[in-house]
Amino acid sequence: MFEDTENRATEKPERHAWSSLHAVVYVAIVLLLIGNVYLLSTTSRLATGVSRVQENLDTQIASVNSQLATKLDESRQHAISLAQDARDSALAAAERARVEARRSAAKVSAKLAQQQEQVAGELNDLKQTASNTDSRITEVSTDVSHVKADVASTQAELHETGSDLKRTKGDMGVMSGLIATNSKELAELRELGERNYFEFDIKKGKGAKKIGDISLAVRKVDPKRNRFTLMVLADDKTVEKKDKTINEPVQFYMAGSRQPYEIVVNQVKKDQLIGYLATPKVKLARR
């Protein structure tokens, strides 16, 4: 009996322990079920929220795409309009350029026609002038022929009347031109026109005197012997012509002259020389 009591005492705690365990398991199961229900509910709500968000996103994306398409279409239309305006402007500019080119061409044509008419008139004037000039040249040629004949005749007469004119070698050993010993013969030389002649009358002690393009100064005279000494100033040089005689060509060369200059003294007086300077008509460089 005592053992039964002990067994019953032992069974009661065990039953109590199992009852507590069952209660805990039951509670756990209940809690698990509640948690699952909550999770299912939350998951459903989340799915619904995600669906709504996706729908909103799709709506917004569709709206943005629609706006972009509208903007793109507007930009395309604007670009087409700009291109059309640019083409119209280019066509208008090209038309203005063609009109201006036609106007310019018309002006140029008119100006060319005017110039051609003017040139034609000038050519006619030139032809008339040339015709008149030919007539005048013919007349002048006739006059020149007459003048040449007169000159030839005059020179022949001068050679006949000037038989006293002579040539001689100058103090440089060069054959001189014709020499005049007096004013009459000098006038004959001028008529021949072979050279330029400058008469002079210079005195001793008066300094250099300009004769033609040179200067002369008397340094010494000897009337008894008809001799003299001259200082010739030419080409920035001074040359002494010493102890010369009357009617002797005193010669010297100037720059740019092939022929010599010639000084001829016709009279030697007391402190005075009278004569002339003969220079070439044309100056040519000496070789």
Angle at 181 between CA 176 and CA 184, to 5 degrees: 115
Q: Coil, helix or strand for 42?
A: helix
- Give the phi and the psi of residue 237 in degrees, each rounded to 5: -125, 150
Q: Does domain 166-280 have CATH number 3.40.190?
A: no
pLDDT in tens, the chain (287 residues): 555 555 555 566 666 777 777 788 888 888 888 988 888 888 888 888 878 888 888 888 888 888 888 887 888 888 788 878 878 887 888 788 788 878 887 887 788 788 878 878 887 887 787 677 677 767 756 665 664 665 566 555 545 544 467 888 888 888 888 999 999 999 999 999 889 999 999 999 889 999 999 999 999 999 999 999 999 999 999 999 999 999 999 999 998 888 899 999 999 999 999 999 999 987 655 45
Backbone Cα Rg of the chain: 70
Spell out the domain ranges in the chain.
166-280
Task: Say which DSSP state 260 is in.
Answer: P
Q: pTM for this structure?
A: 0.45
